[in-house]
Amino acid sequence: MTEITAKSIDEALRKQLDALETSVESREVGTVIQVGDGIARIDGLKDAMAGELLEFVSSEGHTVYGLAQNLEEEEVGAVLLGEVTTIKENDQVRTTGRIVEVPSGKEMIGRVVNPLGMPIDGKGPIKAEGMRPVEFRAPGVIERQGVCEPMQTGILAIDSMIPIGRGQRELIIGDRQTGKTSIIVDTIINQKGKDMICIYVAIGQKASTVAGLVETLERYGAMDYTIVVSASASDSAPLQYIAPMAGAAMGEFFMYNGADGKPASETNKGRHVLCIYDDLSKQAVAYRQMSLTLRRPPGREAYPGDIFYLHSRLLERAVKLSDKNGAGSLTALPVIETQAGDVSAYIPTNVISITDGQIFLVSDLFYQGQRPAVNVGISVSRVGGSAQIKAMKQVAGSLRLDLAAYRELQAFTQFGSDLDKATQQQLNRGARMTELLKQGRYVPMPVEEQAISIYAGGKGYLDDIPVSDVVRFRGELIDFLRGTRPEVLSAVATEKKFTDEIESDLNAAIETFKTQFAVSASE
């Protein structure tokens, strides 16, 4: 145990006192003209910069920070972050010369923080490695490279047909209660051991919902590589507004720096980051509230004119950096909640047009028991095959075709008996393939198991299995392979493609398994 002596106390105090700033500098000062609704109008501050951090000092001596937003001829409009009620008219405001920054670094991992990076999980203070600005210019074309590595979600329906690459921006869109957050949680859980830092940004959600999610992530060991940024529904609009940017800033630290904390380079590789913004429609609402109270002119649906710019500059920060810059990546999964499936509303159309694809979740499918309720017909990933391993590409093509044919013919199912054999066969296959895409929560599948499952379906091994047994068949087949033919699984995992040899081994294994698979009694 360390001995505490008068000398050590003296040294500790001296060290702290050495850090005291005793110099006096001239600073620009303004006065609060009006304050209310989390917004302050300030007289003076002629040199304030857009987005600059302002320091408000209340008459009682409290310091509250704000964000300069409107730079007008005679006054500055600012949004307040924190204890807004302590600020009154005639209080002083000072410029700081810097923009809002958040702490970042490895110490943040496993923590739940507010959008200013302050811990809210009761686990004590965070000794951050550095600070990063919440607003940061996205890298240019030269600094990037094309998306080339897969970001596996562990969800069969997504990884097979809507593959997401590291550095991509893939929108998750759907009505409330369609399983958007479930997909996200599964995706985070699936990143275990994949050298991916996950950042989950909860915007405008109930604190209890966020607590539940954190508990789930902890249960599955996912908090070891995850940071949760929470701006709950009770937080002020400015905090909800900066939350996604703060999350991106925390993620950028890992992307722009190597594992040693030094800037990434060809020799010091940057890390891979997955940033989830759940959800941007609530951020848009918070920004609308801020803009209207700042008296900015309202546009469509009363959103301000720069709402597109807000989302585009946030999502443009998702990137796959060039090898010269460390080859790190930041994958963005923004979430948008639609109202009654209306994707033609302002914010959904904006974000659809910004992102590199979208995963549509549909209430009807959800209530039919097709979970995850991904509508594979209208979901798309514009990065496509470059973010897939070859094995998945080999099998996913036929899956897409089978499902497309199935959807086309589905309208005729009511005349089942009048259909020719080939059509019936297509319907039969489609029903099984659709069933194959069903997946439980918190059970992400490794990509080789996904590929083998689809392979089995595509080769017709499921055609004589009752639809209700397809999911059980898939699970038991994987268990069988793990138990008796693990070399087949590992061959697919290492080769990343179906060679003739793997195919023949796999066919034999599936046929063996089929002989021992017991069909449910009810069928």
Partner 1 sequence: MPINRQVVKKKIAAYASLLLDGAFASGGQEAAVQVRDELEALVRYTRESLELANALDDKRYTPEQHKAIMVNVLTGLGVTPLLVEALAVMAQRGDFSLVSRVWASYTEQLEQRFDLNIVDVTTAVPLDDGLRQLISEKAAADLGTRVVLREHIDRSILGGIIMSARGRRIDASIRSHLEGARRTLKQSQMEVKASD
Residues that bind partner 1 (CB under 8 A): 15-16, 19-22, 24-34, 43-46, 61, 63, 73-74, 88-90, 94, 107, 124-127
CA pair distance 334, 126, nearest whole angstrom: 27
Whether residue 18 has a cis bond before it, omega within 30° of 0: no
Residue 107 CB, nearest approach to partner 1 (Å): 7
Residue 94 CB, nearest approach to partner 1 (Å): 8
Q: 42, 29 in Cβ contact below 8 A?
A: no
Catalytic residue among 166, 382, 400, 429: 382
Residue 214 CB, nearest approach to partner 1 (Å): 20
Please identify, using beta-carbon distances, which residue of 23 and 344 lies nearer to partner 1.
23
C-alpha dihedral sign at 22, 26, 28, 29: positive
| Chain-centre distance for alpha carbon 208 | 20
CA pair distance 66, 294, nearest whole angstrom: 13
CA pair distance 157, 183, nearest whole angstrom: 11
Please identify, using beta-carbon distances, which residue of 12 and 519 lies nearer to partner 1.
12
Please identify, using beta-carbon distances, which residue of 47 and 195 lies nearer to partner 1.
47
Q: 250, 271 in Cβ contact below 8 A?
A: no
Residue 35 CB, nearest approach to partner 1 (Å): 10
Looking at 125-236, list the stretches that DSSP marks H as alpha helix, in order from N- to C-terminal side: 156-161, 180-190, 207-219
Residue 73 CB, nearest approach to partner 1 (Å): 7
Residue 475 neighbours by CB under 8 Å, 6+ apart: none
Residue 257 CB, nearest approach to partner 1 (Å): 19
Please identify, using beta-carbon distances, which residue of 36 and 146 lies nearer to partner 1.
36
Q: Beta strand 272-278 with 329-337: parallel, antiparallel or unpaired?
A: parallel
CA pair distance 34, 49, nearest whole angstrom: 20
Residue 501 neighbours by CB under 8 Å, 6+ apart: 491
Rg, Å, the chain Cα set: 27
Residue 34 CB, nearest approach to partner 1 (Å): 7
Q: 477, 462 in Cβ contact below 8 A?
A: no
Q: 186, 441 in Cβ contact below 8 A?
A: yes
CA pair distance 140, 328, nearest whole angstrom: 14
Q: Which residue has the tokens 């590409």?
A: 393
Q: 129, 258 in Cβ contact below 8 A?
A: no
Residue 308 CB, nearest approach to partner 1 (Å): 27
Please identify, using beta-carbon distances, which residue of 22 and 267 lies nearer to partner 1.
22
C-alpha dihedral sign at 264, 265, 266, 268: negative
Please identify, using beta-carbon distances, which residue of 96 and 424 lies nearer to partner 1.
96
Q: 151, 165 in Cβ contact below 8 A?
A: yes
Backbone angles phi, psi at 407, to 5 degrees: -60, -40
Residue 90 CB, nearest approach to partner 1 (Å): 5
CA pair distance 430, 108, nearest whole angstrom: 46
CA pair distance 258, 371, nearest whole angstrom: 38
Residue 382 annotated as catalytic: yes
Distances (CA, A) of 255 to 38, 224, 259, 275, 327: 34, 18, 10, 11, 8
Please identify, using beta-carbon distances, which residue of 1 and 518 lies nearer to partner 1.
1
DSSP string across 480-494: HHHHH-HHHHHHHHH
By annotation, the residues acting in catalysis are 382
